Amino acid sequence: MKRPFYRLQGSKHWRNSHRAVLRAALFTVLLTSGAIAATSADSSFCESLATLSLPHTTITLAKSVPAGEFTAPPPANAPSGYSEAPLKNLPGFCRVAATASPTSDSVIRFEVWMPATNWNGKFQGVGNGGWAGRISYDAMAVALRPGYAVASTDTGHEGNGGDASFAFGHPEKLVDFAERSVHEMTVLAKALITAYYGKAPQYSYWNGCSSGGRQGLVEAQRYPHDYNGIAAGAPANYWTHLMFACLWPAKADLINPSSYIPTNKYELIHRAAFAACDALDGVADQIITDPTPCHFDPGVLTCKGADAADCLTAPQVEAARMIYAGPTNPRTGQQVFPGLEPGSESGWKAEAGGPRPFIIPLTYFQYVLFKNPQWDYRILNYDQDVALADRVDGGLLNAINPDLKAFRDSGGKLLLYHGWIDNLIAPRASVNYYQSVLTAMGGRQQTESFFRLFMVPGMGHCGSGPGPSDFDRVGVLEQWEEQGVAPDKIEVARHTKDLPPMTRPLCPYPEVPQWNGSGSTNDAANFVCAVENERQIHATPGRGGTPGGR
């Protein structure tokens, strides 16, 4: 059977030939710019980068931006008069915008920002969310302030992040989104950085969450030499199965009107879940440290009479149970994707609030899988359609390969983190991937030398939630990669207006933070990391699914 193009491009032959082309281009860049690179803070030198010749790439802008504020261009199709909020407190930088066209249907826009002074000698690539479609300017600003040269891409199309219609009739654009755009951006950004400073970045780091987490795992699995360290948060790496999971709440809640849970009842379920689970860790603090030992049943809220605001009807109870359980194959009973955890209920509105299903999975089925914009989500089959999605994908959108030997051997470090109350990507999906890597790499000791998973109590999707979740992802990687200090424990903080300050440790899975029984529970110093029991060393069935999911 003929191999699809995107698998050919990932072959050893394609990678080697591509590297050769880029090496030649980089050599040309150095010859033409090396003599003046030392004066890279000069605005005229920044503007001269517009004349660089890079493979299948057009540089559309090269301009010095003074220190202070920068207002990013509005997104595509923004209403007339729309303006982005300015990004503040930026150092002066050289802004380069470019478009890469590795295929005739590729239009991969990306930008590279390089500090005019006080460059830290490092490069940071930042990720996207959803279906992407826009350069992540906010994330670029965060990386630029401490001195990184930084790059971001729109992944090959313009859009709002929620719509997959760009892929309809454009298979190469789907490849660009899936893997090619980030790799192209990374290699070309390094060439531009080298031209500007006269030397290549000493270290390169990736920082992304959700789709950006998936992008990070794609890099580790398929392009293991692109980055020295990768921070991948809440990765959407089992993309095809995640799309089924994201429509599962709609199947539970929207198809049958009697099953619909009004959004004002989410808080009712949320409070009951915390009543059942919060104190299991010995601390009643509105943070469920680890939901896996909690077996909360929403049936405790069943109405004793007519439907009311303080109870759930029998169909509503079943809908809530389905959301916790996650999708399963109706014929085999096999878990398709883990379910959401107790504590996530306040965020169910995104996928179950109605009146339409969540647009990210809906448009996947309409424009990518079935190629029918009129496709009706109510006919989705969790047996044949799951198998079809896996066949059609062929490893393009999914990034579940557990063999990370090449990344490990390159010296790379991988930091995977996921919030336990994530309402969009079930957190046990990350546990399952981690378990599959343990098996492939020979166990925990061999794996933890380069890859660690941190589950974040009380954190929702890529942030928010009642638990502390603020920490310097790239800083942790730097300590690990550059100083050899592995993250045995990470201190995270909470800084919100309506909750008191708090610090807690994050522990490498399967360890969990445990209060030592004395001192403030708002202080990380009073917690230790320990394996609670052997239950946590294996992915659990039911809500959690089976390890690996390959």
Give the β-pairing of 149-153 and 122-126. parallel
CA nearest to 328, candidates 344, 339, 341, 343 = 339
Tokens of 325: 């359980």
Rounded to the nearest angstrom, the gap between the alpha carbon of residue 195 and the centroid of all alpha carbons in its chain is 30
Distance of alpha carbon 200 from alpha carbon 411, whole angstroms: 18
Give the β-pairing of 203-209 and 229-233. parallel
Task: Answer whether 471's CB lies under 8 Å from 459's CB.
Answer: no
CB atoms within 10 A of CB 262: 12
The angle formed by the CA atoms of residues 97, 142 and 502, to the nearest 5 degrees, is 160
Q: Which helix (H) or strand (E) holds 14?
A: helix 12-33
CA nearest to 459, candidates 490, 417, 431 = 417
Distance of alpha carbon 297 from alpha carbon 281, whole angstroms: 19
Backbone angles phi, psi at 454, to 5 degrees: -125, 115
For residue 337, the SS3 value is coil
Task: Answer whether 195's CB lies under 8 Å from 114's CB.
Answer: no
Rounded to the nearest angstrom, the gap between the alpha carbon of residue 35 and the centroid of all alpha carbons in its chain is 40
Sign of the torsion angle spanned by Cα atoms 307, 313, 315, 320: positive
- The rounded radius of gyration (Å) of the Cα atoms in the chain is 24
Contacts of 327 (CB under 8 A, 6+ apart): 244, 245, 248, 251, 335, 336, 337, 339, 382
Distance of alpha carbon 16 from alpha carbon 13, whole angstroms: 5
Q: Which amino acids are annotated catalytic? A: 210, 422, 461
CB atoms within 10 A of CB 459: 29
